Chains A and B, each alone.
Chain A
């Protein structure tokens, strides 16, 4: 299973990437919106895990891009900071499948990931 991990926080991305790889996923990490866009032009991940706040291209824009421009129904899990509920609502309106609020347990992310993949 290919996971696109979009997060500008390299530390957290590294941690999550490690956990996901350990869980048997193939992870591609993009640290900003441009990279995500480039990656999506040529690749089709099975699931996208994206932070809401990213340089150049926010998580909200990413959802919009995936759902409207690319017309993909790839599951998208949004990672948001606590107190960022408005953005989460926008994300859901645009077609995000799930969200997880920081701080979170990587195991919880794994469970949510597996659940979303199971749905598809």
Chain B
């Protein structure tokens, strides 16, 4: 009797409990890890969201931005520096940069690389290189490669021959990517196999390198590593380096089929005909694959001299593929040297078949049923070549039927040359097969059959001849195609007289327009003549003083009322000089003028006098000016006497002294060189002295003012910890300007030694930088500072527009009260003053 073994139930319960517990633990751990991963992913996502605006801010930070942007940037930099103290944040930040790298290019990508290194994130990757875990090392190499950390080149080169394939492959890519010479280092040092996939990746890296100059890869054809030789051959082919012909020919004898094949490809690519004997000699030694490559190459670069070799291959007992290749090569070198032979019927067979056909067709004729079709299914060629007897040739593709008598010009005779067999039987066209003919296939047939050919076609049907056998006598068609002898002699007589009058009529309005254009040009010339105005005056130095010319100047005083006049004679704007003079002074000059000869040196005062004196008849004068609008510009054309020029110069100098500042110094110097009048020279000298002294004072005051300006770093430095302060000092060295100098001076005497030393270094660096900037700016400023006179000489009408455009400036100039020459220190431009002059003048006139 069989009894079941006694299993203690306690044990069963125990086992059950154990496995249940195990399952629970497993489920809990799965749940826990899943949640952990999800939480971490969520955390990373949130962190990315938090950090991505900061990254964007960094990426698109504009160094020339406003103060707020600069403060934000520095604040963010401090924030980021705090953030990257935590490994998790560093990891997320690295991930962000790596992700963005894939999507952006150009300057943004470069900035991305810069940020990566600037924040010291590459240090983590460097640490990863020291890990014992291959995946960490590989990740580190990948990161450094992707972020183009060139410093990593050297540490990564040590992994080129790493025994771990993943690390090694990553290092190979990195070395080739990071530096131009990386490929040479790699080819020189690699000992391991380079897989096909890796070679493709390396080729891709090399191909996408910017400004890459390929080294001569033939140098690695002698490498002991066959994989290096193979890669070198591929690179040679890619870069078309055809300077290693002998090496390539030698490599055809290499043991490795891969190298052989690549060498043969290169030979074919570079058309190395001298390699043909070698290719032929090694042909028999090689595998079918290589043989086929050799035949391909011979077909490409061979000549008729190689035909015997190829024919020999065809005859010998080589494989089917090799024979085919040889035939193809023969036909490539000498087209149609070998014709199709497979399943091609011999001449006797054809005769028999055709005789049978003849009998059949004759019977058909006798029964008078021309539509009867005869299908020949022996060969596809015969089917295709069948012709329909008495039907129109139908274009199956287009559905258009070509009737024989459709167009007499298109009629072409079809002459069938029956060489082997002369048959008078009826040709029967297999309609189905005829439909298979495409347009292209029958395109060469000029088939428009007339009545004669219809009868012929009825009587001579499908002889079994192929379409190729049907020959068309083109010689006969040629004269038919050019039946009309055109006489072109009449053309000149008919066309030319007709065209000429039409052309003349057509061109009339154009000429008319041009005339208008010329008139406009003239008007412009007159308006712009005031540019030459000064030049004309300058040459007429010896003419006597004409007091009346002051009257002209007076008229131009009112020019600003008329926009056109003011634009036409911008120089006259300068005549509003001594408007601040009191009436008493003016009256004194009135008396002076009555009693004595006018001293033109005091012209501005006299001008004022005239103005005061003649205000009573101002209205009359104005009307006169309005009536003779052109008079002003015409006056400008008329050369003026020398004294007038001096007066103008003096007036200009007065204006410059009153309204100008140190920026006029170069102009005054140039004026000094050109002027000959001692009075003018003396005046220029005094103005120059004045400006120079004012400029020096301003320099001193500006320096002290700028030093007092607020530094964005100041508050941050005093609030930050030691690290932040050091970081900010570095920032000052890079971004700071003169405003930071006082702060640095303070920090030089800081309690902390480190801060003191750093501040001192930064101070020197900043001072040097500022000096360099100042020099550069000085050079630019010399070019940029063009005085009023130079601009007026250029007669640029837009110049005035630009100065009047900003509303704020206009408002300011309206409000500004003129305070005399001492006001030059307020840094307002001469043009602001000039703009305000007209307003001031009107205000004065209107009380």
Q: Does B814 contact A (CB under 8 A)?
A: no
> In the complex, are the beta carbons of B59 and A15 less than 8 A apart?
yes
In the complex, A106→B106 CA distance in Å? 9
Q: Does B100 contact A (CB under 8 A)?
A: yes
Tally inter-chain residue pairs, CB-CB below 8 A: 59
> In the complex, are the beta carbons of B52 and A103 less than 8 A apart?
no
Q: Does A93 contact B (CB under 8 A)?
A: no
Q: Which residue of the partner chain A has the closest CB to B69?
A: A22
Q: Does A25 contact B (CB under 8 A)?
A: no
For residue B569, give the distance in angstroms from its CB to the closest CB of chain A.
40
> In the complex, are the beta carbons of A15 and B100 less than 8 A apart?
yes
Q: Does A73 contact B (CB under 8 A)?
A: no
Residue from the list A9, A19, A107 in contact with B103, Cβ < 8 A? A9
Residue from the list B49, B60, B104 in contact with A22, Cβ < 8 A? B60
Mask: chain A, 93-120; 1 = CB below 8 Å from B; 0 = not: 0000000001111111000000000000
Q: Does B53 contact A (CB under 8 A)?
A: yes
For residue A11, give the distance in angstroms from its CB to the closest CB of chain B.
5
For residue B488, give the distance in angstroms from its CB to the closest CB of chain A.
50
| A107 partner residues in chain B, CB cutoff 8 A | 106-108
> In the complex, are the beta carbons of B60 and A18 less than 8 A apart?
yes
In the complex, A87→B57 CA distance in Å? 32
Known A11-B48, A15-B59, A15-B100; contact A105-B106, beta-carbon cutoff 8 A: yes
In the complex, A108→B104 CA distance in Å? 10
| B48 partner residues in chain A, CB cutoff 8 A | 10-11
Mask: chain B, 82-100; 1 = CB below 8 Å from A; 0 = not: 0000000000000010011
> In the complex, are the beta carbons of B108 and A105 less than 8 A apart?
yes
For residue A105, give the distance in angstroms from its CB to the closest CB of chain B.
3
Q: Which residue of the partner chain A has the closest CB to B57?
A: A18
Majority-rule SS of B interface residues: helix
Q: Does B133 contact A (CB under 8 A)?
A: no
> In the complex, are the beta carbons of B100 and A105 less than 8 A apart?
no
Q: Does A14 contact B (CB under 8 A)?
A: yes
Chain A residues 73 to 106 lying within 8 A of chain B, measured CB to CB, are 102-106
> In the complex, are the beta carbons of B52 and A11 less than 8 A apart?
yes
> In the complex, are the beta carbons of B53 and A18 less than 8 A apart?
yes
In the complex, A14→B109 CA distance in Å? 16
| A108 partner residues in chain B, CB cutoff 8 A | 106
Q: Which residue of the partner chain B has the closest CB to A105?
A: B106
Q: Does A72 contact B (CB under 8 A)?
A: no
> In the complex, are the beta carbons of B59 and A103 less than 8 A apart?
no
Residue from the list A22, A103, A106 in contact with B102, Cβ < 8 A? A103
> In the complex, are the beta carbons of B52 and A102 less than 8 A apart?
no
Majority-rule SS of A interface residues: helix
> In the complex, are the beta carbons of B103 and A14 less than 8 A apart?
no
Q: Which residue of the partner chain A has the closest CB to B49?
A: A10
| B55 partner residues in chain A, CB cutoff 8 A | 15
Known A11-B96, A11-B99, A19-B60; contact A103-B53, beta-carbon cutoff 8 A: no
Q: Which residue of the partner chain A has the closest CB to B99?
A: A11
In the complex, A22→B65 CA distance in Å? 11
In the complex, A102→B103 CA distance in Å? 5
Q: Does A26 contact B (CB under 8 A)?
A: no
| B53 partner residues in chain A, CB cutoff 8 A | 14, 18
For residue A19, give the distance in angstroms from its CB to the closest CB of chain B.
6
Q: Does A70 contact B (CB under 8 A)?
A: no
In the complex, A105→B55 CA distance in Å? 15
Q: Does A12 contact B (CB under 8 A)?
A: yes
Known A14-B52, A14-B53; contact A104-B96, beta-carbon cutoff 8 A: no
Q: Taking each of B60, B96, B103, B107, which has the highest tally of chain A beta carbons within 10 Å of its own beta carbon?
A: B103
For residue B311, give the distance in angstroms from its CB to the closest CB of chain A.
48
| A19 partner residues in chain B, CB cutoff 8 A | 56, 60
In the complex, A12→B59 CA distance in Å? 12
For residue A30, give the distance in angstroms from its CB to the closest CB of chain B.
16
Q: Does B105 contact A (CB under 8 A)?
A: yes
In the complex, A8→B707 CA distance in Å? 50
| B104 partner residues in chain A, CB cutoff 8 A | 12, 15, 103-106
| B57 partner residues in chain A, CB cutoff 8 A | 18
> In the complex, are the beta carbons of A103 and B103 less than 8 A apart?
yes
For residue B841, give the distance in angstroms from its CB to the closest CB of chain A.
41
In the complex, A10→B96 CA distance in Å? 11
In the complex, A18→B101 CA distance in Å? 17
> In the complex, are the beta carbons of B60 and A12 less than 8 A apart?
no
> In the complex, are the beta carbons of B100 and A11 less than 8 A apart?
yes
In the complex, A62→B668 CA distance in Å? 67
For residue A81, give the distance in angstroms from its CB to the closest CB of chain B.
9
Q: Which residue of the partner chain B has the closest CB to A10?
A: B49
Chain A residues 1 to 56 lying within 8 A of chain B, measured CB to CB, are 9-12, 14-15, 17-19, 22
Q: Taking each of A10, A11, A19, A105, which has the highest tally of chain B beta carbons within 10 Å of its own beta carbon?
A: A11
Q: Which residue of the partner chain A has the closest CB to B65?
A: A22
> In the complex, are the beta carbons of B100 and A106 less than 8 A apart?
no
Residue from the list A10, A22, A106 in contact with B52, Cβ < 8 A? A10
Residue from the list B96, B102, B105 in contact with A105, Cβ < 8 A? B105
Chain B residues 625 to 663 lying within 8 A of chain A, measured CB to CB, are none
Chain B residues 34 to 70 lying within 8 A of chain A, measured CB to CB, are 48-49, 52-53, 55-57, 59-60
Q: Which residue of the partner chain B has the closest CB to A108?
A: B106
In the complex, A18→B53 CA distance in Å? 7
> In the complex, are the beta carbons of A104 and B56 less than 8 A apart?
no
For residue B93, give the distance in angstroms from its CB to the closest CB of chain A.
12
For residue A99, give the distance in angstroms from its CB to the closest CB of chain B.
15
For residue B42, give the distance in angstroms from its CB to the closest CB of chain A.
13
For residue B462, give the distance in angstroms from its CB to the closest CB of chain A.
50
> In the complex, are the beta carbons of A18 and B103 less than 8 A apart?
no
| B103 partner residues in chain A, CB cutoff 8 A | 9, 11-12, 15, 102-104
In the complex, A114→B56 CA distance in Å? 21
| A102 partner residues in chain B, CB cutoff 8 A | 102-103
| A10 partner residues in chain B, CB cutoff 8 A | 48-49, 52
> In the complex, are the beta carbons of B109 and A103 less than 8 A apart?
yes
Q: Which residue of the partner chain B has the closest CB to A15?
A: B56
> In the complex, are the beta carbons of A15 and B107 less than 8 A apart?
no
In the complex, A10→B100 CA distance in Å? 11
In the complex, A11→B92 CA distance in Å? 12
> In the complex, are the beta carbons of B105 and A14 less than 8 A apart?
no
| A15 partner residues in chain B, CB cutoff 8 A | 52, 55-56, 59, 100, 103-104
| B99 partner residues in chain A, CB cutoff 8 A | 9, 11-12
For residue B76, give the distance in angstroms from its CB to the closest CB of chain A.
12
For residue A77, give the distance in angstroms from its CB to the closest CB of chain B.
15
Q: Which residue of the partner chain B has the closest CB to A101?
A: B105
In the complex, A104→B108 CA distance in Å? 9
Q: Which residue of the partner chain A has the closest CB to B62?
A: A22
Q: Taking each of A106, A107, A108, which has the highest tally of chain B beta carbons within 10 Å of its own beta carbon?
A: A106
Q: Which residue of the partner chain A has the closest CB to B55?
A: A15
> In the complex, are the beta carbons of B107 and A14 less than 8 A apart?
no
For residue A34, give the distance in angstroms from its CB to the closest CB of chain B.
19
For residue A53, give the distance in angstroms from its CB to the closest CB of chain B.
13
Q: Taking each of A14, A15, A105, A106, which has the highest tally of chain B beta carbons within 10 Å of its own beta carbon?
A: A15
For residue B111, give the distance in angstroms from its CB to the closest CB of chain A.
10
| B108 partner residues in chain A, CB cutoff 8 A | 105-107
Q: Which residue of the partner chain A has the closest CB to B104?
A: A103
In the complex, A105→B49 CA distance in Å? 21
| A14 partner residues in chain B, CB cutoff 8 A | 49, 52-53, 56
Known A11-B48, A11-B96, A107-B108; contact A18-B56, beta-carbon cutoff 8 A: yes
| A18 partner residues in chain B, CB cutoff 8 A | 53, 56-57, 60
| B106 partner residues in chain A, CB cutoff 8 A | 104-105, 107-108
> In the complex, are the beta carbons of A104 and B49 less than 8 A apart?
no
Residue pairs across A and B with Cβ atoms less than 8 A apart, 5 shown, are: A9-B103, A102-B103, A103-B104, A106-B104, A107-B106
For the complex of A and B, the 10 pairs showing the least CB-CB separation, nearest first, are: A105-B106, A18-B56, A103-B105, A14-B52, A12-B103, A15-B56, A105-B105, A102-B103, A11-B52, A11-B99
B residues at A contact (CB < 8 Å) = 48-49, 52-53, 55-57, 59-60, 96, 99-109
5 further interface pairs, Cβ-Cβ under 8 Å (given A9-B103, A10-B48, A15-B56): A11-B96, A11-B100, A15-B59, A102-B103, A105-B104
